């Protein structure tokens, strides 16, 4: 196959001394030129087919690229929507958690305050009870202190003996007397709790008399 340079620089042998070229050289060159052009035509046709196929595939690739681009855009939109929804849900969860935590803290503070008030109230009640017990026991101690002691009784005996001297009196010997046996008296049954009568027993010191107004004749 000839090239452009070979075609430009071709030289034929002289047929005669006066000029002209040999016919066989020209015919051979023409055959080579035809073969070259036919080869180039075939190559051109093949290239055109390849270009057509490439153009078709390129168009397909463009269509696929558009489809992929649309899919990517759709995917990106869906991704953005999912991310936005996830962020909103996360923000909502965090906000609700913070509100719940604040509510729990407030409830805990309120319960702590109530417990403190209850504890202080119990202490206050304990102080009140302590004062009442001290007052009650103080009054009991005062009443006990008002009761006569053995020293007071002995002093009263000495004062009475000094003021009203008496001779010692012989105590009679008690005689054993046979007493008739009496049937035990049964207490009446009480049918109503409101009709019961409380029997007041005399106190241990109810018969004692003290002071200057004591008179032996009253005995």
Instruction: Tell me the mean pLDDT in the region 126-134.
Output: 92
What's the rounded mean pLDDT across residues 142-161? Answer: 85
Instruction: Indicate the domain borders of the chain.
Output: 4-113
CA torsion sign for 194, 196, 201, 206 is positive
Distance CA 179, CA 75 (A): 126
What confidence tier does 219 reach under pLDDT thresholds 50, 70, 90? very low
Q: Is residue 159 predicted with pLDDT exceeding 70?
A: yes
pLDDT band of 195, cuts 50, 70, 90: very low
22: DSSP letter: -
Pairwise CA distance, residues 140 & 136, whole Å = 6
Q: What is the pLDDT of residue 181?
A: 53
Listed in sequence order, the residues at least 6 apart from 80 whose beta carbon sits closer than 8 Å to its beta carbon are none
Measure the CA angle with vertex 217, ends 214 and 219; round to 5°: 85
Cα 108 to Cα 94: distance, rounded to the nearest angstrom: 20
Comparing 207 with 103, the larger pLDDT belongs to 103
**pLDDT for res 115:** 92
**Averaged pLDDT, 141-150:** 83
Better-predicted residue by pLDDT, 219 or 154 = 154
Tell me the sheet residues that pair with 14: 21
User: CA–CA separation, 151 vs 129, rounded Å?
Assistant: 36
Chain centre distance of CA 19: 119
User: What's the confidence (pLDDT) of residue 214?
Assistant: 45
Where residue 205 falls among pLDDT bands split at 50, 70, 90? Answer: very low
Closest of 7, 73, 13 to residue 37, by C-alpha: 7
Question: Tell me: the pLDDT tens digits for 57-80?
Answer: 888 888 888 888 888 888 888 989
- pLDDT reported for residue 8: 58
């Amino acid at each position: 196959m000839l090239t452009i340079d070979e075609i430009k620089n071709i030289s034929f042998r002289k047929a005669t001394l006066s000029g002209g070229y040999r016919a066989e050289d020209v015919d051979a060159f023409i055959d080579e030129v035809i073969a070259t052009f036919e080869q180039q035509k075939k190559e051109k046709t093949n290239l055109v087919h390849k270009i057509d196929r490439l153009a078709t595939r390129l168009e397909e690739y463009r269509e696929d690229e558009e489809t992929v681009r649309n899919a990517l855009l759709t995917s990106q939109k869906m991704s953005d929507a999912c991310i936005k929804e996830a962020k909103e849900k996360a923000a909502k969860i965090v906000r609700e958690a913070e509100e719940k935590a604040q509510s729990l803290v407030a409830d805990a503070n309120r319960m702590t305050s109530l417990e403190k008030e209850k504890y202080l109230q119990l202490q206050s009640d304990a102080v009140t009870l302590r004062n009442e017990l001290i007052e009650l026991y103080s009054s009991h101690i005062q009443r006990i202190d008002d009761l006569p002691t053995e020293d007071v009784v002995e002093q009263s005996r000495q004062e009475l003996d000094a003021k009203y001297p008496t001779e010692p009196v012989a105590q009679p010997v008690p005689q054993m007397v046979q007493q008739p046996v009496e049937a035990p008296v049964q207490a009446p049954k009480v049918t109503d709790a409101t009709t019961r009568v409380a029997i007041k027993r005399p106190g241990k010191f109810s018969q004692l008399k003290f002071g200057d107004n004591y008179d032996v004749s009253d005995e």
